[in-house]
Amino acid sequence: MATLLWLIAVVLVISGIYVILARRDILWGIVLIVIGFLVGPGGVSIFHP
């Protein structure tokens, strides 16, 4: 489960960086990066109390 969460978090963060750099949409990029950090298994996670 931790590996799956890690992969989802990586995809979200990379897509957030892509949105910021390629599409110049800073708000959506920041939202995707923050969601990636919240889903990730390390640090803060919405799935662990």
In the structure encoding, which two tokens stand for residue 3, read together?
């590996």
pLDDT at 4 over 90: no
Give percent of the chain with pLDDT exceeding 90.
41
pLDDT of residue 28: 94
Residue 24 and residue 33 in contact, taking contact as beta carbons nearer than 8 Å: no
**Average of per-residue pLDDT values in the chain:** 84
Is residue 8 scored above 70 in pLDDT?
yes
The percentage of residues in the chain with a pLDDT greater than 70, rounded to a whole number, is 82
Helix (H) or strand (E) holding 18: helix 2-22
